[in-house]
Amino acid sequence: MKISDRVRVKESVVVYHHPEHRNQPFDLKGTEGEISAVVTQWQGRPVSANLPILVQFSKKFKAHLRENELEVI
């Protein structure tokens, strides 16, 4: 997976920071978005992030996910 790939969430992932469902559980399964970053470095040093893929779902909503939770469209 690389930046600008279109992806779909294939597993059930519950988030609480969705702008339309603030502080309520929201399942991302089946939601489509675009990869905006792959976190491998922080301040010039390599990191091993637990949730390395940053996906932009809408103009106001991003989420960090694992590679096994996504599928390329």
Per-residue pLDDT tens listing for the chain (73 residues): 899 999 999 999 999 999 999 899 999 999 999 999 999 898 999 998 899 999 999 999 999 999 999 999 9
Q: List the one residue out of 47, 65, 48, 69 whose CA is nearest residue 56.
A: 65
* Residues 9/27, Cβ–Cβ less than 8 Å: no
Predicted local confidence at residue 1, as pLDDT? 86
Predicted local confidence at residue 35, as pLDDT? 97
Torsion of CA 53, 32, 15, 23, to 10 degrees: 130
pTM value > 0.75: yes
Predicted local confidence at residue 37, as pLDDT? 94
Amino acid of residue 25 = P
